[in-house]
Every structure is written in structure tokens, then in C-alpha cells.
Chains A and B, each alone.
Chain A
């Protein structure tokens, strides 16, 4: 091996070791134990083939958690994407106080999820500000608070998640907007294009790679939603999601690591397929455009 290759290898070694020990090994190991009946406190491990996968597909609690995860993903991503794009357009102009708004919108993204979840838990409770506001506007509010009702609990958490995420994606959209050459807008102005024409014909098509990135990242994050559920409802009131189910079944109730590893791989495959579909769809549309 030549000296520069050795040096490169040595420089990459710390990362490689971390990757193998903390990422690759758990990934392969959990895939293997997904085919066993391994329980945390048990000394014996037996190969059970696809039994865990079969049981999971008829496990009502898992399926309900998976369904909640899909509701969370499809219920948050469109709003997060659209609102963050609108905010990016808002803070892209030149006006007084623009930097303040940029910082204000971004602030929730750098605040701890636990802190935000606790604040929202208070806001959502019976007699809290949100309930009072809703009552003032003539809406009926849940008797014991938004988080203690299975008709509102998950949606309340989703609303909080949207509020918290938009600032981060706004910043990415803003970076995308800044990379669009001014010449294109100048040319459109000379041609007499309206604001909406410029938006749909220049801004939106050129933001597509950024939108794809946001969609993929946000999907993966939403499929893995856990902290909000853990802090706010502990999976109660029909808010359990796939990752919360994996945590709860694997670490607090049954300790069936083999079983929950299989559940984790089902989620892994779903996220993989979802991301791939998003890539393919957007690439196809790009070629059409």
C-alpha cells in the first residue's frame, strides 16, 4: 500500500471504527436476531425463521402503531413543506425586521424537543390557552384536554411537530431560493411575466431538488417519530407510533428483542420504499418538465 493510501486509511479509521461498531454491527445483528425468539433476560436463543414477521403482521397493536405512523407522516409532511416554503418566500424579501423573523421562525428547531413537548403539554391541557382560544372561537374542546382524548391527541402532537419543524425547512428552502440566479427573474420581467407565472415557472421548478431533499429527510424523521410521543402521551390515547411500539415492547414490557428487531426492519423497509418512491416520482416529473 502506498503511503498516501495508508495515511488516508489511518485518517478515516476513527470514523470507520465508529461506523462498524455503532452502526453496521447493530444493523446486521438486529437483522439476524429478527429471525430468533431472543428475549433480553433469557439465556437461550432459538431460530424461528419468519415467525416474528408473520406474528407482527397480525399484531393489532403493531398495526395500529404503524397506521398512526402513516397518519403522522401524511398529516405533517404536506403542511410542513408548504408552510416552510411560504415562510422562506416571506423572509426572502428585503424589508426591515427580516432577520428577526428569520431567527424567530428558526428558533423552535434549535430548542430541545423535550422542552417544546412540555410547553405544548401545558398549552393543550384542559383550561389551557389553546382550549380557551378554541372556546372563544366557538369550538367544542375535549373534556379532559387535547392530549387526553383519542380523537385529538395524535393530531395535537402533529400540529406541534409542524410548528417545530417549519423553521428548519424554511432555512433550507431559503438557501434554495438564494441559489436561483437573478437573471432568470430579470428575463421574466422583461417578458412581462406576472408574479405567479415567475413563481410557478422559475421558482418552483428550480426548488425541486431542495424540495426532494426536504421530503426525504422529513419523511424519514416523521416515520421515526418517538420523543414527542414519549414525553407527551407515552403512546396512550391511540398515539403509539411504530418506533414507540418498538421501544415499549422491547424495553419496557416484554423485552422481546427478536420480535421488535423484526418490527424495526419492517419500518426500515417501509422508509426505504417510501424514500425510493419519492426519488423516482420527482425524477420522472423532472424529466417530463
Chain B
């Protein structure tokens, strides 16, 4: 009896000590799609097997309200150890010291990953790039052929895009040359800014002393964007535009790698091509963003959290994730050289565009600036024939936010 009691006590103590010794990490992430969630779960299991002293608890967020939940969690001191952040949000949390400076923890990895600049605020790194994201032109080859263009036609320049869009629109009432986004928050600027950046327009002067949103270059860019919208535009939200493109109604749209996934999974029979965002004379610049993993400043397990982030963002795991999610642009340079990306012409276009893409300024006020730019674009394409005035008005508002006299 005494022996049994001793055995049970020993087992009990062992169980308690093992559970006490385990480091528990909370991770908030956005990938809930049935094609990718099992991959995430598998990676966690693998990590926990390799690191039996660490336990990962995942919470899924949605894109519709995930940002709000993260903000509230940081404000109330209930943020998780690790959180997935969109590139636009990093400066906002870094400026308020809500996420940890991981510069020292990451110093040996700078050469191996792309996208660090989007996580750098005041010369410190606050998150590790997981995936990058950019937008390219998707075009309908069947419609182009119908409109008289030969198979080799690719819209490299603004004039090519205009001609192509014009001719497709001329095919008849059912067809539109250009998919134009309605006033969608967080989306509209990603469609206009590629034209803006391609024309070498800038938001601020190089010394950051003045906002130059209404420069001649910017006006030229918005003129083209407004022309496409007015003359050839199928206007809807992003999903609606993509639906219409897949139904063969639109000639050109700007979209991301998720559309490739949709075409593949829905087995769409569309003769399409992808190409770089056109510029005035040469291929132009696109929008650059990405998904990042950050550690909460209040986390008591920063090193364990970094260990997990390193595991999840390793080249092998990124390739596995990208294959499952059809993501085109991993942050790992090694992963991006995998045959999966180099053998697929569409994925190759995305990886080329990454080199010709511009990220919005890493600025805690970016969300507000973005909203002001979108309001100006919305005003120009929907409400007024004026071009410069709404941009000038937006410029003044941005200067006010940034305290520029």
C-alpha cells in the first residue's frame, strides 16, 4: 500500500513538474482557410515535437475585424506572445512600444529574408517577414485576340494598357477593358498607387519636409487611372471585379496571387496571362506589403517566441505553406528559389514584380494617410471632373496630420 502511494505521488509530482516546466505561447494568426489551416496545425505539432518544453496555443483571427482585436488586446494588456501583423500596422504598434524590438535577435538573418524594411521603424526591427504580397496585371487573352491583338501582345507600357482596354471596351456592351475598384477601404489605394509610383511620383519630398501628393507626376497618374475608370471601367468591389474577370467580361485587372489560387481551385477555364504593372515607358512599380510575425513587448517568453517564429518562417516551412496556399512570394530568399516558384510563369511574374514594388511609408499615421488618399481618389473617379483640387485637399490634410506647416 505504501509503495503504491509512493508511486502515485511520484507520477503526480512528475506530471505537475512537467506541466510547470512547459512554456506556453499564445499565437494569433489569420490563416483559417481549409486548404491552409491543416498545414499550420501540422507545423505547430512538428515544432512542439522538436521543442517538448514549448506549447503553442493558436487563436484564429479574421481579416474583417482582426486588426481591431489586436489593437484592443494591446490596449488592455492581453496581447498574445506572437501576433501576425499586416505590414501597414507595424509602425502603429512599434511607435507605442507594444511590440518588441527584435533587431538583436534577428541580426544573423538579414541576408536570408526580403521585406525587413517594412518592419523597420526608427532604425529598429519589430517583426520578421513571413510572406510578401504584391499585385500584378491579369489580362484576358481571349478578349485581346477578339479585339485584334496578336498572341504576343503584353501590356508593358501605359499606352499598351490604354489601347488594349479601349479596344476591348469597343467589343460591345458586355465587355469592359478595365476592372475598377469602387471606394473600398484599404483596397482602392493599392490600385491607384501603382500608377502613382510607376510615374515616379512621391508622397513626401526626400527630406520628408513636404507632402507632394498633388505633384504633376501624381496628377498624370490619376488622370490615367480616372480615364481607365471612366472610359473602360467595370466598377465593383474586388470580389465582384474578379468574378467578372473570371466570367470573361473584363480585359485587365490588378489582383494578387489569391486569384491564381481561385482559378486553380475553381477549375476556371479562362485563357489569361499575368504581367508586371505597366509604367509610362517601361514596366512600372506595384504595391508591396506582407505578413509579418511580431512578439508582444509584454511577452515573458520572447526567446521561445522567436524560436517559434524562426521555425514557422524557415525556408522549408514557407515552401510548404506557399504550396498549400498558392502564395507566390515567400519572404525567405532560399524558398523563393525553389522550383515551385521558378517553374510557374505566373508565380515568376509575382516574384519579378516584388523587385519592382514599393511599400507605403512605415509610418504610425499610415492608416489615416491611406484613408485620405482613398477619399481623394474616390472623389476624382466618382464625384467630380476636377483632378488637382482633391489631391491638393488631401495633401493639406496629410500635412496637418504630419504637423507640416
Binding site for B on A (CB under 8 A): 40-43, 125-126, 143-145, 148-150, 234, 236-237, 251-255
Contact = CB atoms under 8 A, between A and B. Distances in A.
A236 B71 contact: no
B235 A253 contact: no
Given A41-B93, A252-B68, A148 B182 contact: yes
A40 B72 contact: yes
A253 B67 CA distance: 10
A207 B284 CA distance: 68
B75 A40 contact: yes
Contacts of B68: 251-252
A166 B96 CA distance: 48
Interface string B177-196: 00000111100000000000
Contacts of A252: 67-68, 185, 367
Contacts of B92: 41
Contacts of B71: 40-41, 251, 255
A253 B368 contact: yes
A236 B75 contact: no
B93 A150 contact: no
Interface in B37-90: 67-68, 71-72, 74-75
Contacts of A145: 235-236
Given A41-B75, A41-B98, A236-B183, A126 B235 contact: yes
Given A42-B96, A234-B184, A148 B368 contact: no
A19 to B, nearest CB: 22
B88 to A, nearest CB: 12
A150 B235 contact: no
Contacts of B236: 125, 144-145
A166 to B, nearest CB: 29
8 smallest A-B Cβ distances: which pairs? A236-B183, A144-B235, A41-B96, A40-B75, A251-B68, A148-B182, A40-B71, A234-B185
B235 A148 contact: yes
B61 to A, nearest CB: 15
Given A41-B96, A148-B182, A252-B67, A237 B368 contact: no
B382 interface: yes
A255 B67 CA distance: 11
Interface in B217-272: 235-236, 240
B67 to A, nearest CB: 7
B371 interface: yes
Contacts of B367: 252-253
B383 interface: yes
25 contacts: A40-B72, A41-B74, A41-B98, A125-B240, A143-B235, A144-B235, A144-B236, A145-B236, A148-B183, A148-B382, A149-B382, A236-B182, A236-B183, A236-B378, A237-B183, A251-B68, A251-B71, A252-B67, A252-B185, A252-B367, A253-B367, A253-B368, A253-B371, A254-B368, A255-B75
Contacts of A150: 382-383
A255 B113 CA distance: 32
Contacts of A42: 96
A40 B117 CA distance: 26
Given A236-B378, A253-B367, 20 more contacts: A41-B71, A41-B74, A41-B92, A41-B98, A42-B96, A43-B96, A126-B235, A143-B235, A144-B182, A144-B236, A145-B235, A148-B182, A148-B183, A150-B383, A234-B185, A252-B67, A252-B68, A252-B185, A252-B367, A253-B371
Nearest to B64: A230
Contacts of A149: 382
B87 to A, nearest CB: 17
A130 to B, nearest CB: 16
A125 B236 CA distance: 9
Contacts of A253: 367-368, 371
Contacts of B67: 252
Contacts of A126: 235
Nearest to A251: B68
A41 B92 CA distance: 9
Interface string B358-385: 0000000001100100000010001100
A252 B235 CA distance: 25
Nearest to B95: A41
Contacts of B183: 148, 236-237
B252 to A, nearest CB: 18
A252 B70 CA distance: 11
Contacts of A255: 71, 75
Contacts of A148: 182-183, 235, 382
Interface in B129-164: none
Nearest to B185: A234
